[in-house]
Amino acid sequence: YNIKSRMNNFENFLFMERRRRKNISLKKVYDRHVTSVDFKRKYIYFASQYQPEATTSVLGGYYANFFLVLDILSAVIPDDWIIYYKENSTIFSKSIYAKGSLERDRHYYERLANYKNIKMISENINTFDLIDYAQAVSTVTGTVAWEAVVRGVPSMTFGKTWYSGCDSIFSIKTFKDAEDAIKKIINGYKPDQSDIERYTAAIEKVASKNI
């Protein structure tokens, strides 16, 4: 509450500009680890989300720590599967208001590179191509989980969001949940389109139009 402890306008400008430059430099770090996508391989598409943001920091709960999610996925998938990690492009935004470098640094991507079955891919690769060729899609609370099931691809979500009540989306709370979901996916599980349609109709009834 002491006003003297706050940054003045010039200090705030410097802070935001330094943060912006760090966002840009992160892109170079990430690109050093990027690999090409082999759509013929069996993979889970992990769609990373922008952080810090309420959709992960709050709705994600303890899974706001993406490494907890990736540890689980890395452990439960078969040996011949990989995880394609696609970073959210807003992390590298040149806007002075973007805050990606508060949640990412070179150590983050170096740690990702150490997983034997996780590959980082360009943030510019088309999301729908990645969905369509995936064995499953995973996210914390991203809309990609919904985009996947409406296209007939299984999805796993680790947080709590508007589509969490849909039975056709695997809601992962524990390691056992993830194991069970992967077993079902290996055995040919596909989302129930009639269930998705019913859930869509229910959401439409209770949602308000954003004006």
pLDDT of residue 71: 98
43-77 burial: b if 16+ Cβ within 10 Å, else e: bbbbbbbbbebebbeebbbebbebeebbebbbebb
Amino acid at residue number 26: L
Question: Please, are residues 114 and 81 in contact by the beta-carbon 8 Å criterion?
Answer: no
94-99 contacts at long range (C-beta below 8 A, 24 or more positions apart): 94/20, 94/23, 94/24, 95/20, 96/16, 96/17, 96/19, 96/20, 97/16, 98/19, 98/20, 98/23, 99/19, 99/52
pTM: 0.92
Q: How do residues 164-196 score in pLDDT, each as one tens digit?
A: 999 999 999 999 999 999 999 999 999 999 999
Residue 186: both structure tokens together: 């290996």
| 147-151, Cβ contacts within 8 angstroms, sequence gap of 24 or more | 149/191, 149/196, 150/191, 150/196
Residue 118: CA count within 13 A, CB half-sphere: 26
- What gap in Å lies between CA 123 and CA 108, rounded to an integer? 16
Q: What percent of the chain has pLDDT over 70?
A: 99
Q: In this model, does residue 209 exceed pLDDT 80? A: no
What is the per-residue pLDDT across 85-106, written as a single tens digit (0 to 9) for each? 999 999 999 998 889 999 999 9
Tokens matching residue 194:
């009639």
The pair of structure tokens assigned to 182 is 């992967």
Of the candidates 131, 134, 125, 172, which has an alpha carbon nearest to the alpha carbon of residue 148?
Answer: 131
Bond prior to 78 in cis (omega within 30° of 0): no
Q: How far, in whole angstroms, is CA 170 from its chain's centroid?
A: 15
pLDDT value at position 211?
A: 56
The mean of the pLDDT values for the chain is 94
| Percent of the chain residues past pLDDT 90, beyond the cut | 84
